[in-house]
Amino acid sequence: MNLKIKKFDFGFLNNRYNYDYNKVIGVKNKERYILYNDKKLLRIYRENLKSQALLSSYVPIEDAIFYNFTIESTVLEKIDLEAFIETKVYEEAGLSETEKYIIKYKIIDKLNNEKEILIQTVIVPENYIKSSYDYILKEAGYIDYISFPAFAYKTLYDENILQKADDVFVVVLFDKIFFTFYSEGELLYINTISDGLNKIYDRLEELKIKNFDKNLFQKLLSKKGFLKEKYFNKENIIYKTIAEEFQKRIYLINEQILNVIENYNIDKIDRIFITSEYGTIPGINDYIKKSLNIKSFGFEFYEKYNLDRLLVDPFLFLGMLESSYAYKTNNLKYNYSLFLRKPKFIYRTSGILLLSTVAITALFSSYPFYLYIKGLNFKKRAINTKLKLNKINLQKNILKSRILRYKKDIKYVEKDIKKNEEAINNYENLINNIYKFKFSYLPKSQEVVDLTMLMNKYNIFLKTMSYKDDIYLMNVYSYDDDKIAKFINALVNSGFNVYFDKIIKKNNKYTTTIRIEE
């Protein structure tokens, strides 16, 4: 007799979180889109932000701090890297000691110097994250992912939107240009330079164009750009000025490319992807290709998803794409969000405690199980206390390391001061003794000069010196074990009749008495 045992489906217990990583809602200011990654579909989003779709936004380029430094590759295994990076950036990147920062980093090993690796950091103040997304938090209460463009570019390769190559992504802002280099799908280098659209604006302002302001400037770049045929005859001077000024920016782009080729293990840049604060500038890609002989493209990475032909913020799309990929691969390394959604109730501490309490009370209603639940609570508190203690100890160790380093520096300085003071005193004594001796025994002044020159040559210091019955008696010392011997040998070679006692070492000094007979 075969019995069929009915299987119960507890699928609702399998997922800790109530989200679908193939759906991502991207929000930045008034822009709201939803990306169906599995369907390659991008739509405007008008519903409530609380849903199964992941919720994402991004940190603007101008609100981050960039710092990179190199270390020997052999050092990497010997240090607590995260603590080392935190100490390094606080000390050298101009961060405020009183402010907290979210520090994300990438280890780059494609330098031409194979003995060194580059640590590239992107730093965002915690206060910025806490204060800049209130309009999202008020509606949803959480943000699953906050991306940063330099890291988000990698997803373009991971999701096969771009084929791997040596690329540079260029964003021209009003007051700076932001560069991100990728080699074969991996971050290579980040840099910014303080030069942007403002220089072009200033030049156009000198032309005294009627009603010229930033709005008109934006329209000129976003509507006409480098398309000469878009300008009327009387506007040729405007086109020429924009072209001349942007040519200077292209020189700067080329300098960055040459710098990367010189210092990193790549031969050339295959592609340039460029956009501006005002979006794509018409004609710019042909202009760059003609100037640098490198293929140039815009930031319309979302085109294969964009069936509705939407004008999407490319950085918002990149953040949505990265959010989906990060949750799909369970790699949230470059997530700047401090407001992750809570797990399902049964996975929260309160839910676990409540369910445990209900189950135990229903089954046993006994005091020992009450103690068990209480023990769980104490264990949780102990774990939290230990985590806080570990964090405090880490901060303490960082501060202790700084104190030890400062104390060591003080010792070195004090030691140098003492040594210099002692050397000054010795030279003063030598000068005084020689001066007295010279004017007491004028006939012997040349011999004294010879002796003085040899003493200076071999770093010999004089304690006392006398002359009687044609005999010089000199009590000398040195800090090096072979200097006195070399000095005596030089005296003999110079024609002096030299006799000396044994050389004695005391208090790190070597002393002896030398007798010179005529």
pLDDT tens profile 426-470: 777 777 766 665 555 444 667 788 888 888 888 899 888 888 888
pLDDT tens profile 120-133: 999 999 999 999 99
pTM of the predicted model, to two decimals?
A: 0.65
Three-class SS of residue 440?
helix
Give the list of residues 6+ apart from residue 357 with CB closer than 8 angstroms, or none. 373
Contact 238, 209 (CB under 8 A): yes
What percent of the chain clears pLDDT 70, i.e. is strictly above it?
89
Residue 68, CA atoms < 13 Å, CB-side half-sphere:
18
Nearest to 426 by CA among 473, 478, 474, 472: 478
Contact 156, 301 (CB under 8 A): yes
Residue type, 263: N
pLDDT tens profile 17-35: 678 999 999 999 999 999 9
In 336-472, which ranges are continuous DSSP H helix? 349-363, 367-440, 445-457
pLDDT tens profile 67-96: 999 999 988 888 899 999 999 999 999 899
pLDDT band at 415 (very low <50, low <70, confident <90, very high): confident
Token pair listed for 226: 């480098």
Nearest to 31 by CA among 128, 135, 178, 143: 135
Question: How many other C-beta atoms lie within 10 A of the C-beta of residue 501?
Answer: 11
Contact 170, 332 (CB under 8 A): no
- C-alpha distances out from residue 439 to 136, 451, 472, Å: 91, 16, 15
Pick the CATH number of 441-517 from 1.10.730.10, 3.40.50.720, 3.30.1360.100, 3.90.180.10: 3.30.1360.100
Q: Which residue has the tokens 């040519």?
A: 247
Question: How many other C-beta atoms lie within 10 A of the C-beta of residue 388?
Answer: 10
pLDDT tens profile 185-223: 999 999 999 999 999 999 999 999 989 999 999 999 999
Identify the pLDDT of residue 390.
77
* CA gap 254, 124 in Å, rounded: 28
Q: Do domains 15-148+302-343 and 163-300 have the same CATH topology?
A: yes
* CA gap 288, 273 in Å, rounded: 10
- In the chain, what is the greatest distance between 2 CA atoms, to the nearest angstrom? 134
Give the list of residues 6+ apart from residue 2 with CB closer than 8 angstroms, or none. none
Give the list of residues 6+ apart from residue 431 with CB closer than 8 angstroms, or none. none
Residue scoring higher pLDDT (483 or 169): 169
Identify the pLDDT of residue 472.
87
Average pLDDT of the chain is 86
Identify the pLDDT of residue 367.
60
Residue 154 has pLDDT above 80, yes or no: yes
Contact 113, 85 (CB under 8 A): no
Identify the pLDDT of residue 62.
93
Strands laid side by side in the 295-297 sheet: 186-193, 177-183, 166-172, 271-276, 295-297
What does the angle CA 451 – CA 454 – CA 457 come to, to the nearest 5 degrees? Answer: 150
Residue scoring higher pLDDT (12 or 136): 136
Token pair listed for 383: 């774990």
Residue 336 has pLDDT above 60, yes or no: yes
* CA gap 417, 348 in Å, rounded: 62
Long-range contacts of 261-268 (CB under 8 A, 24+ apart): 262/112, 263/111, 263/112, 264/110, 264/111, 264/112, 264/181, 264/183, 264/188, 264/189, 265/110, 265/111, 265/112, 265/183, 266/110, 266/166, 266/183, 266/188, 267/166, 268/166
Q: Is 447 exposed, middle or buried (0-12, 13-18, 19+ CB in 10 A)?
A: middle
- C-alpha distances out from residue 250 to 29, 222, 290, 314, Å: 31, 18, 11, 22
Contact 271, 165 (CB under 8 A): yes
Rg (CA), the chain: 37
Nearest to 119 by CA among 170, 67, 78: 67
The domain ranges of the chain are 15-148+302-343, 163-300, 346-440, 441-517
Contact 330, 306 (CB under 8 A): no
Identify the pLDDT of residue 444.
61
Identify the pLDDT of residue 364.
58
What percent of the chain clears pLDDT 90, i.e. is strictly above it?
60
Token pair listed for 184: 């074969």
pLDDT band at 346 (very low <50, low <70, confident <90, very high): very low
Architecture per CATH, domain 163-300, reads as 2-Layer Sandwich (3.30)
pLDDT tens profile 378-411: 777 878 787 787 778 777 878 877 787 777 778 7
Residue 2 has pLDDT above 60, yes or no: no
Pick the CATH number of 15-148+302-343 from 3.30.230, 3.40.50, 3.30.70, 3.30.420: 3.30.420
Report CA dihedral (294, 298, 300, 304) to the nearest 10 degrees. -30
Question: How many other C-beta atoms lie within 10 A of the C-beta of residue 178?
Answer: 20
Contact 295, 270 (CB under 8 A): yes
Contact 103, 89 (CB under 8 A): yes
pLDDT tens profile 254-288: 999 999 999 999 999 999 999 999 999 999 999 99
